Structure 1
Amino acid sequence: MEKPLLVTDFLDRARRNYGAHEAVLATTGERYTYDELGERADGWSAFLQSRGVEKGDRVAVLDPNTHYHLEAAYGSMQVGAIHTPLNYRLIESDFEYILNDAGVDVVYADYAYADKIESIRDDVPTTTFVTNDADEVEGDWESFDEVVAESAEYERPEMHEEEIITINYTSGTTGDPKGVCRTHRTETIHAYLVSHHGEIRDDDVYLWTLPMFHVNGWGHIYAVTGNGARHVCTRGVDAEEIFSAVRDEGVSYLCAAPTVLNRLMDYYDEHDPETLGENPVRVATAGAAPPEATIRTVEDEFDWYLKHVYGATETGPLITTSDFRRFFDQDDPDRFAVKKRQGFGYLGTEVRVVDEDGNDVPHDDATVGEIVVRGNQVMDGYWEKPEATEEAFNDRVEGYYHMGDLAVVNEEGLVSIQDRKKDIIISGGENISSIELEDTLFEHGAVADVAVVPAPSEEWGETPKAFVVPANGDVDDPGVTAADLIEFSREHLASYKVPREVEFVKSLPTTATGKVQKYELREREWDEEDRMVGEG
């Protein structure tokens, strides 16, 4: 028997089975049951149809992690409109590009970000503008609470699993942002995978530290809802509030980029907060693994269980995890070496590491290739960009999405990223992994954060340069010298991998999800050069 895979099933199931149970703790302190969350989503659905929104039309949401985001997302998808979440850290020109590129009809924007839309509203095709606090917003904006209260009657159209239901825009670090098209099917299967590998249950309490706009909160807007668990909303990442929520609300699950983990560790060192409430805590971190010292602190001092996962916006995003417990003993300190790796593919996901000819690299933990993937959670393509789609799936090997990450594979088949293609440093013909060098510097007690990029070199073409955030926060008196850190690296790495320069900085540029934007550092270093050796 075949049943269509539709994202609307997640909220439908929660309402059917958990209607009277708490669904959401709002940032305002209000609590909503799944019945109440569903009724508000229905009100948004009815409002959209009253404004002429039809299946396939685009509805944008610009919001931190509040209940409004969940209601607008489900309310849009219930009428078959394409949910288009926006990164709230973008600037006006970015929003202008995206709203035009997607042809967005309706925007819901949180009051704190609505002014960025108001300033460009005459330059976009959008005709309907809604916010959660119209009194705080300049211009002609309607109130979300008022429009959802008017009616909950709407007609749900027939939908098919292969139809696009969300567009997630990439960060645009190498050009204009690209709209990643995701269907009911890809979203649903990814949510199933998140439910399994994240071990999500109906008694979970999920804390929204990961932006909901980021690949639909890695699918947790579906998985947490469909499983009947509780959402604890936030308006941003605040270490004190995170520990308080864990303690007071019994948070059992959250996601945190390595930079967020660093913030939590800093707060923990200064304030010694309680790290557990009534439930054990697991935390997922994505991408390049945090240093072993970070994993050690999270697990041994916070007493949280860390899951390292990996993916990209185009792939759902999640495609691998290192949480395979037959490969490590939870009481063995050697487990960190496994948890640092990207690991194996998710269920039903084919992950390979291939050389430039498209052949699998040997499992020797030394030969570097690019990660490519096939899976039911991978995007169908980019919005109205067929050439970019073709290139993404057919560079080294046909029919696989190319991740742009360079990796090795060990004898057990566990993948470990060495670098991004553009972040690999080619010095005198030798390839240097910036991640390996960063991991080494992280082990020094005076280093709070670090990013390594290639810098121009007359002798070698390019050499590693480290941007270091000192642990004491004082760039003028960091408690360690550049020479000390260079010598520390020399003690742990081959001489050609050692940074030739160290610069102390207050902070590193990051995305809204906490990933370091190395391209900004690279561009600064190579501003006066014609080209980069590695073309990073």
Structure 2
Amino acid sequence: MNRPMTTLDFLDRGVDVYGDAVGVIAHDGTEYTYAEFGERVDRAAAALSELGIEAGDRVALLSPNTHWFLETLFAVNVLGAISVPLNYRLIAEDYEYILDDCGARAVVADHEYAEKVEEIRGEVPATAFVANPADRVDGDWLDYESLLEGADPDAVERADVSEDDPATINYTSGTTGDPKGVVRTHRTEHWHALVAAHHTDITDDDAYLWTLPMFHVNGWGYPYIITGVGGTHVCQRHFDAGGAFERIHAHDVTYLCGAPTVLESMIDHYKSHDIAATGDKPVRIATAASPPPEATIRTVEDELGWNILHVYGLTETGPLITTSNSPRRIESEGRFTVKTRQGHAMLGTEVRVVDADGEDVPRDDETMGEIVVRGNQVMDRYWNKPERTHEAFNDRVEGWFHTGDFATMDEREMISIKDRKKDVIISGGENISSVEVENALYDHPDVERVAVIGVPHEKWGETPKAIVVAADGADLTEEGVVEFARDNLAHFKCPTVVEFVDGLPETSTGKIRKVELREAHGDPVA
């Protein structure tokens, strides 16, 4: 039997099996059962239909982590339309490009960000503009809750959706040119949710705290995962450690996601306040972006008592394609050896590390190559960019998606990312992993944050430069940081220049913006 795989399967199971259970807790604490959530989804779909949205239309969503983002994400797919979640940290010109590129018919925006769209609404193809709430936005916006109140949840008819139809378009950051729209089909979303649910052990007993931005690769698939298994969505508009701990205690949160910067923020808050680390149930946290330093893992697991799961992926890959959740290897090799790695390929996923000729690098855990991947969770294409799509799937190896990440692979096929292709430092003909240097410097007790970039060097071509945020009260010097690095790394890998700053630029998901650092701190070294 071949039954189409769609995102709505997860909504239907949540509503049908867990209709009387609390499925969503809004930022203000309002609770919605899955039956109530399902009705609000149908009302949102009916309201969008009344605004002229049909199958195949693109609907842009601009919101922090709210219950209505979850509702609208499903409602768009009920109509067979395509959701376009927008990064709320962008500027008006970015929205103009994205809305024009995808041909959005409607924009549904939170009051906090609608003004950015208002600036450019005359320049984009959208004809319907909905805000929540509209009375807090300048301009002619329809009110989200009023539309839902006036909609008939029984009036909407579900579109006949194929699993190969686009479900969503996620735009990348655009740090190397115009943002690219990553087209993800119902099948890719469905498959990714099933596989990720397995590897993260999500059940109906879980309460998931939304600290990861919902717009980011559709919240890593958790709108579908949590809904499908009957867990509880706990919404927090924007991450702050104090609010996160309040929700952990109030709603017995068991699971959340966060980049290493989120982990550090939670650690700092916990250490400076007399609070419990959990509710009545244990907590686990999935982390991605840069690998967490050993010191962070030790503090989170030994002091907070949380279990860390390290995963890896990209917008184009679902995102999740590998996991370090390997109890057997943790037992035999130690948690720090395993949990600082990105891990093994997930079920139904093939991961290779290849050299410039497309050949597999030796599985010696030393030789670097580019990660390429095949799997049902990998994107369909880039929207309106056939040449970029072809390049992404055929650069070194035909038919494999090329991640642009450099890694090593050990004898049991566990990968360890060393750098982004563009962040590898080539000094005197030697490849230097900026991540390796950063991890070494994180062992210095007075280093709060650090990023390492390559800067031009007259003799070596490039040389590592460390940009450091010192811990409060620390008395760090450039000489001291360099000396510490030379005690812990091969000398050719050590930074020759150190600059101290008050903070590092980050993306909304906690990744350090090295492009900005290179622009601001990339002066040549003699």
Q: TM-score, normalised by structure 1?
A: 0.96
Instruction: Output the CA distance in 1 between the equivalents of 2:250 and 2:82.
Output: 36
Aligned pair 1:487/2:483, yes or no? yes
- CA–CA distance in structure 1, aligned partners of residues 475 and 420 of structure 2: 31
Tell whether 2:506 aligns with 1:504.
no
Counterpart in the other structure of 1:351 = 351
1:241 to 243, 246, 254: 243
* 1:57 and 2:57 correspond: yes
Which residue number corresponds to residue 523 of structure 1? Answer: 519
What is the CA–CA distance in structure 1 between the aligned matches of 2:22 and 2:523, rounded to whole Å?
53
1:250 counterpart = 2:246: no
| d(CA) in 2 for partners of 1:414, 1:321 | 9
2: distance between equivalents of 1:78 and 1:199?
A: 28
Q: Which runs of 4+ in 1 moved over 3 A?
A: 525-529
Work out whether residues 236 and 244 of structure 2, in 8 Å CA contact, stay in contact via their aligned partners in 1: no
2:83 paired residue number: 83
1:455 Cα deviation after fit: 1.3
**1:126-149 deviations in whole A, cap 9, x for unaligned?**
111111111110000111111011
* Alignment-derived partner of residue 427 in structure 1: 427
The percent of aligned pairs where both chains have the same amino acid is 57
Structure 2, unaligned runs of 5 or more: none
Letter in 1 for 2:183: C
Residue 219 of structure 2 aligns with which residue? Answer: 217
Maintained 8 Å contact 1:83/1:165: yes
Report the residue type matching 1:315 in the other structure: T
Amino acid at match of 1:161: E
d(CA) in 2 for partners of 1:272 and 1:91? 39
Please give the secondary structure, in 2, of the residue aligned with 1:104: coil
Q: For 1:148 and 1:384, how far apart are their aligned partners in 2? A: 33
1:56, distance to aligned residue in structure 2 (A): 0.5
CA distance in 2, matches of 1:236, 1:525: 30
- Give the aligned residue type for 1:296: R
2:195/2:347 contact within 8 Å kept: yes
1:394 and 1:68 map into 2 onto residues whose CA distance is 39
Give distance in 1, aligned partners of 2:83 and 2:377. 17
**Is contact 2:289-2:510 (8 Å) kept?**
no
The offset of 1:527, in angstroms, is 6.6
Corresponding residue of 1:4 = 4
Q: Structure 2 CA distance, aligned partners of 1:527 and 1:181?
A: 38
Q: Which one is further off, 373-382 or 422-431?
A: 422-431
- Cα deviation, residue 482, structure 1: 1.4
Q: Which runs of 5+ in 1 are unaligned?
A: 530-536
Q: Which amino acid aligns with 1:404?
A: G
Q: How many residues align?
A: 523
Q: Matched residues in 2 for 1:66 and 1:377: separation?
A: 25
Measured against aligned partners, the alpha-carbon deviations of 1:472-529 in whole angstroms (never above 9, x if no partner) come to 1x6xxx4211111110000001111111111111111100111111111112234789
- Whether the aligned pair in 1 keeps the contact of 2:456 and 2:524 (CA below 8 Å) is no
Q: Tell me which moved more, 453-462 or 292-301.
A: 453-462
Match for residue 330 of structure 2?
Answer: 328
- In the TM superposition, 1:263-412 aligns within 5 A as 263-329=265-331, 334-412=334-412
Question: Paired residue for 1:13?
Answer: 13
Instruction: Output the amino acid matched with 1:36.
Output: E
Partner deviation per Cα, 1:264-296 (whole Å, 9 max, x = no partner): 112122224210101111100013311111111
The one-letter amino acid paired with 2:250 is D
Name which of structure 1's ranges 402-411 and 206-215 shifts more when overlaid on structure 2.
Answer: 402-411
8 Å Cα contact 2:283/2:307 also seen in 1: yes
Aligned residue type for 2:51: R
Q: Is the 8 A contact 2:455 2:524 kept in 1?
A: no
Whether the aligned pair in 2 keeps the contact of 1:210 and 1:255 (CA below 8 Å) is yes
Q: Distance in 2 between matches of 1:426 and 1:156?
A: 54
